[in-house]
Chain A
Amino acid sequence: MAETTTMQVELKKLNRYKRLKKTIPYWLILPSLLFVVGVLWYSVLYGIGMSFFRIDLALPDNPFVGLENYFNLLVEERFIHSFQRSLIFVAGSVGLGFVLSFAFAHGLYKVKTFAGSFRGLALVPYLVSGVATAIMFRFLFSRTVGFVNQFLVTLGLERIEFLGEANWAMLVIILANTWFIVPFSTLILLGGMQALDPDLFEVALVEGASKLTILFRIIIPLIKPMIGISMIWLTFASFNMFDVVLPLTAGGPGRATEVLALYMYRLGFDFLRFSDGAVVMTIILLLNIITSVFYLRVFKSEV
């Protein structure tokens, strides 16, 4: 009887130890979780809260106004224009960004000699600051002294006002943004490709599959979750993009490149209408959540 009791106690101890062991990972991530909740979610929730008050530094009080800020801003011509420009900007950046990052990832996957060096080089644009990227693109596309126009002139072609004409300016900010955000997306896709079993390709080749068949029937289906994550990155980085656009075009010419993130900055930090800036922040957040959920569903792993 006493032996049974001792065994039960030991068993209990063992179970407790096992339970404790299971919780160790949670204890380990707790500090970072607290940090994220404390720093990120606090500011996001505080920002959302601000959007229900009228916080305007040109006015003395900050009364609660409910959804009034939303109703006012959603019908504002400038907000609608900015929203439309954002959609064009994000669609262009995601479309071009995905094609390029997939091509680069596939290229890097195939490269065997100096593979590490090439992968490191591919990351360089991401390591350059947004402001530096913007200034570089400003120099590239300037009408008078820009490299691209100098090249066009050399070919005997007319100069293009890349930064002075609305549609060209939009193209320039899409290119600059793509240059900035593609490296990280490339890394995500490359990670997915590297996780694939090389035997699959050998079997497919033995079975007579063409390279295109391998790409579309094996690689793409197997890295679908990674494609989803890469699309999420490209989309949210584009919706939130601010530090390249401001020094590159400052939203101009006119308001042709005034995307939502830039408009949010203008409202909050230039016009000092903090609550209106918070409304735009909330809308960008919602757009990011909706597109992320969409991508996660579309690119769900079928394997």
Chain B
Amino acid sequence: MKIRNSILTFLAVAALGYFLWWASLNLDRYMLRIINLIAINAILGLSLNLIYGMAGMFSLGHAGFMAVGAYVSALLIITSDQKVKMWILEPIAPWLMNLHTSFVVSLILAGLAAAFVGWLISLPVLRLGGDYLGIATLGFSEIIRILIVNLTPITNGSLGLKGIPAHTDLWMSYGCLLVALFFMIRLMKSNFGNVLRAVRDDEIAARTMGIDTFRVRVLAFTLGCFGGGVGGALMGNLITTIDPKMFMITQTYSLLMIVVVGGLGSITGSILGSVLVTTMLEWLRFVENPINFGSIQIPGIPGMRMVIFSVLLIAIIIFRREGIMGTREFSWNWFFRKGGVGR
């Protein structure tokens, strides 16, 4: 059974690899961007799910950690010639001028920077519970954004950074997604995963069992922020421009949507949620473009996309609170039981 499952997993990864190879040769740039976005949103969804779904900490600060990651990575890979040209309002800080690393190193540093910021924030904030935690993390994420707007010598202020080399390709984003998936699955199967669930389901009981709940929550939060930073960095390298407006609270809302649609606390759910939400958000763009019915033209309605999006979010939370997967997970054994094969 175990060997069968390993072979199947290997085959699934191989199939994904084949699909990516086929896609990178045959699909146009718009499609490729969506497929890339699915992976990046899945990484971000997984990291938010670790904080919120697995550890039960309602955090609304993910956009801020993404911003940290995106800026760190971009500042490390933009060349110094570009930097000179870009900082118009104020000259760039001299120590930043010649900092340069490869893309992969910048990704890791982006994750570490976001994790460090998250760790610093978590120490005071995680003493709070429930929705106070949500508001406090939201506050920190706004503070990060305001700092980015104002620290012009480092971040180029509200102009943002342009011309980031488009390093994110399918192999990069799906490679990162596989690493994140592998890590999450191992983590949740480990004893730490059990501890996390215990803290989420009943913190007082967990504390009675001798678990240092604060330390566990800080660790989970920091790990989640690492994911947020890497996701933000990948996003910046995909879109090639970043500015502070990208990392407003709406960014956190779409991630929240992914996690809630997929199912809080389900790894499989976050992946499915990302596929659904990302494709839906792209597909909904049609309502904002003019539509032609033969000779009749219906003008596009700006803002309609987000109206539909928010109605769906409300409908899901009212009618199917547990999302697609609930807290269940996909496994090969479950797959064969459902399919009625190999009993």
Instruction: Tell me if chain B binds chain A.
Output: no
Interface residues of A (CB under 8 A from B): none
